[in-house]
Copies of this chain bind each other. A is one copy, B any other.
Amino acid sequence: MLKLYHHPMSAASRFARLVLGEYGERVELLEERPWEKRRDFLALNPAATLPVMIEDEGPAIVGASVVGEYLDETRGVFQRDKRLMPEKPIERAESRRLTEWFLVKLDGEVTRYLVRERVFKLEMRPEAGGGAPDASAIRAARANLKHHLRYLGWLAESRDWLAGPRLSYADIAAAAAMSILDYLGEVHWEEEPAAKDWYMRLKSRPSFRPLLTERIRGLPPVHHYTQLDF
């Protein structure tokens, strides 16, 4: 049995959940607030990051890309044309580059700040960093998002899927991150029609359904969040 420590507003966690969903794996979800630095959670992952996956009470599998590689090696390779990793090493390199782009670079320039300022601070105690959102952090993140959305649009325009002719981890990673930004109403989809069309295709997949029904207490999603044709 698989267990996944996650948070609904963590793009890396959503990536892991979507991959598990695509491969039809059942998983026990355990919500974790990483900023609380819970002792038992730090014992699993001293970096205190999400996601952390456990299979059959084994050692912790830590971080989105590590979980992704593990699931590819233990599930993906048996999935034939549903495998989320391209077949050739050079194509896999492109899928991995973009997975890192959306889960690390976009996160470090956009997602992390918007989520912290607009969501986590509502839940954090003042001594843990809670309180009023920092308007300048939000402004900077929004400016960065413009560039990322343009890049996503360019990729969606130039290729069938983000990393090439087939759906891959790159799409799952980008959709995981964009779905959080979309929940918060931060994405101006009308500016990049190809990105919007790509996201509509991703959002319509059965693996996406559980994510679209989740709600953050006190913070409803933007009105089009669950609409498959928005």
CB distance from A223 to the nearest CB of B (A): 33
The docked-state distance in angstroms from the alpha carbon of A96 to that of B55 is: 17
Q: Which B residues are in CB contact (< 8 Å) with A47?
A: 101, 105
Does the CB pair B61–A151 fall under 8 Å? no
Does the CB pair A58–B151 fall under 8 Å? no
Does the CB pair B93–A70 fall under 8 Å? yes
- Which listed residue (B73, B101, B104) contacts A89, Cβ 8 A? B73
Q: Which B residues are in CB contact (< 8 Å) with A93?
A: 59, 61-62, 66-67, 69-70
Of A62, A93, A94, A100, most B-chain CB atoms within 10 Å: A93
Considering only CB atoms, which chain B residue lies closest to A45 in the complex? B97
Q: Is A3 an interface residue (CB 8 A)?
A: no
Q: Mark A42-82, 1 if CB is under 8 A from B, else 0.
A: 00001100000001001101110111011001100000000
Interface size on A (CB < 8 Å)? 27
**Contact A66/B151 with A61-B93, A89-B74, A93-B61 known, Cβ cut-off 8 Å:** no
The docked-state distance in angstroms from the alpha carbon of A55 to that of B93 is: 12
Q: Is the interface of A mostly helix, strand, loop or mixed?
A: helix
Q: Is A121 an interface residue (CB 8 A)?
A: no
Does the CB pair A70–B97 fall under 8 Å? no
Does the CB pair B90–A58 fall under 8 Å? yes
Q: Which B residues are in CB contact (< 8 Å) with A104?
A: 104
Q: Which B residues are in CB contact (< 8 Å) with A94?
A: 59
Tell me which residues from 80 to 94 in chain A have a Cβ below 8 Å from any Cβ of chain B.
Answer: 89-90, 92-94
Q: What are 26 A-B pairs with beta-carbon distances under 8 A?
A: A47-B101, A47-B105, A55-B90, A58-B90, A59-B90, A59-B93, A59-B94, A61-B90, A61-B93, A61-B97, A62-B93, A63-B96, A63-B100, A65-B65, A65-B100, A66-B93, A67-B93, A69-B92, A69-B93, A69-B96, A70-B89, A70-B92, A73-B89, A73-B92, A74-B89, A104-B104
